[in-house]
Amino acid sequence: MPGDTLITNSAADSQQLRDSLNGLHLASLQHHAPDNNGFYLLLIACLTGIPFFANWLWRQYRQKMAYKAAEAALLSNYLRYDEWLAASNGYYKSLPPAMRSRFLERVARFTATKTIQCINLPADEKMPLLIGAAAVQISFGLDKYMLDFFDTIYITQQQYNYGLYDKPFEGHVSSNGIYLSWDNFLKGYADYTDADNVGIHEMAHALAYVNFMAGANNAQDDAFIKRFYDFSAVARPIFNDMQQGAQNVLNDYAASNYNEFWAVAVETFFEQSLRMKVVMPELYASMCNLLNQDPLLPEKLSEN
C-alpha cells in the first residue's frame, strides 16, 4: 500500500540503542580542608533535581488516577465495549472470555494515557476503543504495551497529504504522534483476511519507534529488543531477496525498506496467519517468538 506510512528515522535491525545516561560520570569527591566545593556541588545537584522528581511524582499520580478512571469506565461499559470489539475486530472476536477480559483491561489502560485528536471530522466514541485495540493486538503478549512515548493519536477522515510527498498517506508515525485515516482504519478491519490493515501497520511502526528510534524512554522493552535481533536473523535475508525481486506471501510493499518489511510482516502475521505459517514457517515462528503470541492459538499467547 504505497504512501501509507512514514518513519523519518531508520529502524535497521543492527541499530545500537543509545542510553541517555551514557557518558554521565560522577566525579569522585576529593576532600579539601580549605573549602567544601564537593559538598556544594552535591547540594546544588540535589536542589536542581527536586523539580524533576516532583514532576515525576505528579505524572505517576496522574497516570494512577487515569488508570482508576479507565478501569471504572470499563466495568460500567464492559458489555458494550465487548459488543463493539467483537463486531469490529476479528482478533478480539476469536478470543475466549478470559482473554477478552485481559484484552479489554489493556485497552482501557492504553486509552487512558492517550489523547485522540480529530482533524476536520467529528469525534466518534468508538475511536479510542478501536484504536487502542489495534495497539493491544500486536502487543498482547508483551509486558510493555502502552507505547508510553506517544501521548497523542491524530485522526483524519480520509487519506491526507504530508510534507512534500506526492502520494496521499493512510497513516504515519513520527516523534509528534501516531496519525491514522479513519476511513482506511475501518476498511482495514472490515476485511480481516487481506493483510491490508493500516491500524495494525502503524501500530507496528509505533512499537518499532519506541524501541529503536525514540531514544531512552519508558516504553522501551529490553526483552523485545533482544528478540528482535533473533527475528532479523530470519527476516533480513527474506527482505534482501525481496529487494532483488523475489515474491512471497508478503505484499510487495515490504521491499520498500526494512521498516515497511516489518510492518507488512505484522499485518500478514495477523490477517493471513495460516498461509504465512505454511508458506514461510521460519518467519512465522520468529514472529511468534518476538511477539510472544500465536494468532492461530485460541488464547493467542505463547507458552514460552
| Helical segments of the chain, H only | 37-88, 90-93, 97-112, 127-138, 182-190, 198-212, 222-243, 258-271, 273-279, 281-291
Record the cell numbers describing residue 224, joined without a space.
523485545
Classify residue 108: in a domain, yes or no. yes
Cβ density class 152-176: b for 16+ within 10 Å, e for less: ebbbbeebbebeeeeeebbbbbbee
**Domain, as residue range, for 276:** 55-291
Classify residue 259: in a domain, yes or no. yes
Classify residue 281: in a domain, yes or no. yes
pLDDT value, residue 53: 59
Classify residue 297: in a domain, yes or no. no
Q: Per the structure, how many domains does the chain have?
A: 1
Q: What is the pTM of this model?
A: 0.81
Q: How high does pLDDT run on average in the chain?
A: 84
At 108, which CATH number? 3.40.390
Q: What is the pLDDT of residues 241-271, one digit of tens each?
A: 999 999 999 999 999 999 999 999 999 999 9
- CA 206, distance to chain mean position in Å, is 4
Classify residue 232: in a domain, yes or no. yes
* Ramachandran class of 39: left when φ > 0, alpha when ψ lies in -120 to 50, beta otherwise: alpha
Classify residue 207: in a domain, yes or no. yes
**Per-residue pLDDT for 302 more than 80?**
yes
Q: How far is CA 92 from CA 85, 98, 112, 137, 186, in A?
A: 6, 11, 20, 8, 15
**Per-residue pLDDT for 81 more than 80?**
yes
Q: What is the pLDDT of residues 167-212, one digit of tens each?
A: 999 999 999 999 999 999 999 999 999 999 999 999 999 999 999 9
Classify residue 42: in a domain, yes or no. no
Classify residue 8: in a domain, yes or no. no
pLDDT value, residue 76: 76
